[in-house]
Structure 1
Amino acid sequence: MKKRIIGIDVARALAIIGMIIVNFKVVFGQSGPNWLRSIVGIFDGKAAATFVVLAGVGLALMTNSAILNNDQAKLKIARNRIAKRAVFLFVVGISYITIWPADILHFYGIYMAVTMLLLTSKGKTLIASAIAIILAFPILMILWNYETGWDFKTLTYQDFWTFNGFLRNLFSNGFHPVIPWTAFMLFGYWFGKQDLHNDKFIKKTFWVSTLIFLSIQALSYVSIVVLSAGNQDTAKELAEIIGTNPMPPLPIYMFNGIAIAFSIISACILIAKRYENNIIITALNKTGQLALTFYVAHVIIGMGLIDAIDPSKMGQYSVQFSVAYALGFSVLCILFAVVWRKYKQSGPLEWIMRKLTN
């Protein structure tokens, strides 16, 4: 049996910390110096993309043995487990969506259901399916108005609790719509099916994905600057089409997100392998194992605490406060993970999920 890859959990910890920073900034406020807003803006859409890619890697690690050995009984058990976890995450996400409309967990449930249909597919089929989903999104945008249901000034969705509004939000224009976000999980699933113990493959993945990421970033930025010719309104319109922001999730953003996810995961695998016993790597490894617990906790506890103190001030805090609070909360999560894992094998919510879905 091959050794557990520590770098996967380290990457998961970094992704959840990135998501905490982004989400706290959105909820609490982001007024303040442009330099700090620009630095924090780097995480927008990329931390969440990495989180979903990692979920795909996790599904591959769950099923690789059964698929490789053509063990149909084991594969059936894995399918049932994935299906139950998809339902569990969907229900958990929906349960608190009134206090956290940007939830990603209920989307996860659908990504997992789609990926489940392709569990035994060849690598080329997985990549082709993921690319087809990415390219389907601009076609959807042409057929349907992406802005339907949205009040972008307040980031609220008007008809979320209607049948049509819910499906529209879920599949085409929510915060993390199934089309095209499922592609992140499919690319992650493909990556997880590779030999992640092979340093040569991981190093190659790191350099190629980093180069792709930097090229997309540079090309996007230069194109917007040149085509807008200094006009701010034109630049803003161009940024929505050829920018790397997650809304709308057009192909440039999607491929950019996949590239940075592969880059981060590969780097974490290599670094964690080399510094396996380092105190920081050990702490992040344990934090990553409790990622689901911390995702829910950052909404219920992290956001809930500030909301309870002064609800009227929500959205009006400075970016300095939002980032400092996010980093402080992340440190507490890391400390909690280190202490918790001394006594328990899995996090509180992870334990509940395993009990209900195994």
Structure 2
Amino acid sequence: MSARRPSPAPAPALAGGHRLSGVDAARGIALLGMMATHILPLSQALPGGGGGPTWTALLFAGKASALFAVLAGVGLALLTGGARPQPPERLRRSRRGIAVRALLVAVIGFAAGSLDAGVAVILVHYGVLFLLALPFLGLPARRLAWWAGGWLLLSPVALFLLLPVVRAWVDPSDVGGSPAFTDLAQPVTVLADLFVTGYYPVVAWLGFLLVGLAVGRSDLSRPPVALALLAGGTAVAAAARWGSAELLAAPGANAALRAATGLSAQGLDTALATGQKLDGAQQSIWWFALSAPHTGSPLDLLHVAGTALAVLGGCLLVAAALTATLGPLGDALLWPVAGAGAATLTLYTGHLMALDLLSGMTAELPRLAVYLGFVVAALLAGIVVKWSGVRGPLEAAVHAASAAAAGGRIRERT
């Protein structure tokens, strides 16, 4: 994401080796999932009356953005040595490059926040998460796993305690979900949005990056590791969802949540699937029983983190199987989604610009048709990226700046 400093030795790389197509494919799935939640409705009217969640909500709400964040942690781990963390001097240079990358991503996020896309842009939060991850880059996998587990379980408690205090102090609606350059005139409100009140509260979301860092410190090229991610992630996600269902079946749980949110019984069921209209739930202790998207509760964080690990493990297994059975052809079959995943910064920002610029042209079109158009465009771009071997424009600019700051050439594995 200056001039190269003189050095008596060859300039170090942040990581060596080829890109892991399974990681890129998982990133591509995250991108397509986020596009789906931005374009398609999350709730729908049912024939018998009332409403319910759409397939978009069931598949992607909360999960796609969390997958994005977990993979950011995986990427940072791979940039700093993967299963073998870099020695202190190289790690110091890597941190400098990653800090520049974080600042550039945040700047792009502030610019994207000024677009009229109707989307809660994640990029500024992403940049802040990169900066907060810097102290953890030198830790081994086991310590990172303890940090990640503890953060996922305890940060929601901090969030629950901080929310009423911060909301009494600032008005979160002043930022509107996507921090823009103009919001910097209200720095306290912007900080509150980034860390506590926003759609992606960094206080809780740092746990996803730590999960990714811990995973990235393992040998992701080995199928047993991928299988463990798939099985373990599925088990964690299922256990979190089951635990939430059991807790919400307790006497008084639904009544308390309906009172806190002002929703009907059916409306609450829909909200639990979409994550919408649940702000009031944070006033009830039953908030800790939720696994609904973007609530930030412990079971929500565990559910989407488990889902992210399962998707990553599945993608790694598919990529390994295709390469083992079909060779280069098998790898080429993943070009569309893996290529899109290798250019997510460009494609994510580009789709926000398109949502703004083409809003008048697409307003009357079926939302599914609009979404499929974006999917086709992203997959075609992925083929171009893989076929040409070039980076996306934003990836190239961020890479050049971060490599210069690190004092050497960066050979990225992911």
Which of 147, 158, 176 is matched with 1:129 structurally? 147
Relative to structure 1, is the Cα distance of residues 296 and 227 closer, same or farther in structure 2, using a 3 angstrom cutoff? Answer: farther
Distance 2:227 2:77 in 1: 20
Is residue 326 from structure 1 mapped to residue 360 from structure 2 by the alignment?
A: no
2:132 is aligned to 114
Cα RMSD for the two superposed structures: 3.0
Distance 1:113 1:228 in 2: 42
Greater radius of gyration (CA): 2
Relative to structure 1, is the Cα distance of residues 247 and 2 closer, same or farther in structure 2, using a 3 angstrom cutoff? Answer: closer
Q: Which deviates more, 337-346 or 266-275?
A: 337-346
Query: The residue matched to 2:138 in structure 1 has which SS?
Result: coil
Which of 138, 155, 158 is matched with 1:139 structurally? 158
Superposed, 1:143-154 pairs within 5 Å as 143-145=162-164, 149-150=171-172
Query: The residue matched to 1:283 in structure 2 has which SS?
Result: helix
1:96 is aligned to 112
Distance 2:98 2:299 in 1: 30
Which of 101, 118, 121 is matched with 1:85 structurally? 101
TM-score, normalised relative to structure 1? 0.85
Distance 1:216 1:227 in 2: 20
How far 1:65 moved relative to its partner?
6.1
Q: Which deviates more, 259-268 or 4-13?
A: 4-13
User: What is the letter of the counterpart of residue 183 of structure 1?
Assistant: G
Identity percentage over the alignment? 24
1:233 is aligned to 258
1:255 is aligned to 302
How far 1:147 moved relative to its partner?
5.2
> In the alignment, is the contact (CA less than 8 A) between 2:195 and 2:201 conserved in 1?
yes
2:347 is aligned to 294
How far 1:83 moved relative to its partner?
0.8
> In the alignment, is the contact (CA less than 8 A) between 1:94 and 1:106 conserved in 2?
yes
Distance 2:83 2:309 in 1: 25
How far 1:38 moved relative to its partner?
3.3
1:74 is aligned to 90
> In the alignment, is the contact (CA less than 8 A) between 1:202 and 1:270 conserved in 2?
yes
> In the alignment, is the contact (CA less than 8 A) between 1:126 and 1:186 conserved in 2?
yes
Relative to structure 1, is the Cα distance of residues 292 and 35 closer, same or farther in structure 2, using a 3 angstrom cutoff? Answer: farther
Which of 189, 192, 204 is matched with 2:228 structurally? 204
User: What is the letter of the counterpart of residue 328 of structure 1?
Assistant: G
Query: The residue matched to 1:113 in structure 2 has which SS?
Result: helix
Which of 274, 283, 288 is matched with 2:336 structurally? 283
Distance 1:256 1:21 in 2: 20
Is residue 267 from structure 1 mapped to residue 314 from structure 2 by the alignment?
A: yes
* Deviations 1:19-48, CA, capped at 9 Å, x for gaps: 00012236xx85445898332112111100
> In the alignment, is the contact (CA less than 8 A) between 1:217 and 1:256 conserved in 2?
yes
Equivalences, count: 345
Structure 1 alignment gaps of length 5 or more: none
Relative to structure 1, is the Cα distance of residues 69 and 337 closer, same or farther in structure 2, using a 3 angstrom cutoff? Answer: closer
How far 1:271 moved relative to its partner?
0.5
Relative to structure 1, is the Cα distance of residues 168 and 151 closer, same or farther in structure 2, using a 3 angstrom cutoff? Answer: closer
> In the alignment, is the contact (CA less than 8 A) between 2:43 and 2:52 conserved in 1?
no
Distance 2:73 2:162 in 1: 29
User: What is the letter of the counterpart of residue 348 of structure 2?
Assistant: Y
Moved over 6 A (4+): 154-157
TM-score, normalised relative to structure 2? 0.74
How far 1:150 moved relative to its partner?
4.2
> In the alignment, is the contact (CA less than 8 A) between 2:338 and 2:382 conserved in 1?
no
Which of 388, 392, 396 is matched with 1:347 structurally? 392
User: What is the letter of the counterpart of residue 242 of structure 2?
Assistant: A
* Deviations 1:95-149, CA, capped at 9 Å, x for gaps: 1213256111111111111111111113333233334433133234224417563
> In the alignment, is the contact (CA less than 8 A) between 1:160 and 1:169 conserved in 2?
no
Distance 1:216 1:169 in 2: 27
How far 1:209 moved relative to its partner?
1.4
